[in-house]
Amino acid sequence: MKSVLSLFSGIGGLCHHGISAAGLSHKFRVQQFVEISPYSQSQLCHEQPEIPIQPDITNYHCHKGQFDILCGGFPCSGNLRAACRRQTLRELGNRGSVSLAAIVFLDSWFHCG
């Protein structure tokens, strides 16, 4: 079974529910959610209590080989505003947005050593 990392998970529609709807639950399993919205986290916890949730992409790290597949959507604009209120651009490493923080994460994920 292939392990899946779900970024900007929302309530699981793209990755978790998408895998189920495609009839591929026997081949793929979400092992980690990364989702900042408290409401979405509560829905994920209710539906998938065994899958851990990391709330913030800007301080999430994983190890090379920890996941086989990475999936996710673009962060919702409301979540972007919430994240920007909590951290200044300097604290985000001058990346300027959560979307760019995701790109930095992806770069480190694909090039870790």
Q: What is the CATH number of the domain that holds 43?
A: 3.40.50.150
Q: Which of 73, 63, 75 is nearest to 3 (CA)?
A: 63
Domain that holds residue 57: 2-111
Domain count, the chain: 1
- pTM (2 decimals)? 0.72
Instruction: Work out whether the CA dihedral 34, 40, 44, 45 comes out positive or negative.
Output: positive
Q: Which of 31, 33, 25 is nearest to 73 (CA)?
A: 33
**Per-residue pLDDT, 37:** 87
Q: Which of 54, 55, 59 is nearest to 93 (CA)?
A: 59
**Per-residue pLDDT, 79:** 46
- Render each residue's pLDDT in the chain as its tens digit; 113 residues: 999 999 888 888 888 888 989 999 999 999 999 998 899 999 999 999 999 999 888 788 888 788 998 888 766 655 455 455 555 444 544 444 666 666 667 666 665 54
**Per-residue pLDDT, 103:** 66
